[in-house]
Chain A
Amino acid sequence: MVHSSDLRTELGKVKGLGSAKHGVSHWMWQRLTAIAMVPLSIWFICAVVGSLLSPDVVQVATWFSSPLHAIPLVLLLLALFIHAKLGVQVVIEDYVHTPFMKYALLLLNKLVCYVFIVISIMAVLKLHFLNIGAGV
């Protein structure tokens, strides 16, 4: 593709400086996950306060057997950690300016978010498929 109106310098191009071309997608996902989490997070807080404060693990696990609980929770966890990854990424980009530290933290941020997604969703699915209290 020929950019006839390209204002970037040759040095800038060689060093790979300039837009990563992910700006719109970043902005949009930040908002989409935010909007999704408005009802989902309020629902989850209500669920925690309403039925998940018990010290009894069986009682807590029973809550997860319903798909009406497990499915929105998986959606919430996905939205939460995508939102967190995008948000913390911007904070790092804004405040950390030493190249090594910046890229190390950006990678760590991605890693932590993806690991949290996998662990939390696996735990929800395990509790769901244990199916404790089904038919009660």
Chain B
Amino acid sequence: MPSLNRPTSPHLTIYKPQISSVLSITHRLTGVALFVGSALVVAWLWAAAYAPAYYAEFHGYLASQWGQGLLIAWTAAFYFHLANGIRHLFWDIGKGFSILQMNFSGWLVLLFTVAATAGSWGYIYQVMGQ
């Protein structure tokens, strides 16, 4: 298609960010991020099954500061996509469409994401004794 330099009507940038739209695009972003992150799961399984001699080294990368940061971000993306996905499943059966319900469930998803991520890593650090 030829790119004509025509004026375009105001699009996303004209809107004030709202909980509905922000969570919607975040669902996509976390989905794609989790797909990228799933390569890590494949690599982890590969290391354990086919390169056991290097497993400790692989574990070392994940346990490093960078690795932990990545895993914490990955965990948060996972809990968000899980909770917001369940929100989507309720919409699929026609529940929760009122503005009040949508805003409430949206904030609930964010609250769950923060609480579950903090809870999981709080537990991990407690167990690992760091």
Which residues of A are at the interface with B, using a C-beta cutoff of 8 A?
Answer: 31, 34-35, 38, 41-42, 45, 49, 53-57, 60-61, 64, 77, 80-81, 84, 87-88, 91, 97, 116, 119-120, 122-124, 126-127
Contacting residues, chain A, for B70 (C-beta < 8 A): none
By a beta-carbon cutoff of 8 Å, the part of chain B in contact with chain A is: 1, 28, 31-32, 34-35, 38-39, 41-42, 45-50, 52, 55-56, 59-60, 63, 75, 78, 82, 85-86, 88-89, 92, 120, 123-124, 127-128
Tell me the dominant secondary structure on chain A's binding face: helix
Query: Which listed residue, B31, B41, B56, touches A55 by the CB 8 Å rule?
Result: B56
Chain B residue contacts of A41, Cβ below 8 A: 78, 82
Given the complex of chains A and B, what is the CA–CA distance between A64 and B49 in angstroms? 10
Q: Are A57 and B52 in contact (CB under 8 A)?
A: yes
Q: List 3 tightest A-B contacts by C-beta distance, closest first.
A: A123-B49, A57-B55, A123-B45
Q: By the criterion CB–CB under 8 Å, are B78 and A53 in contact?
A: no
Whether A55 and B59, one on each chain, are in contact in the complex, defined by CB atoms closer than 8 angstroms, is yes
Smallest distance from the beta carbon of B89 to chain A beta carbons, Å? 7
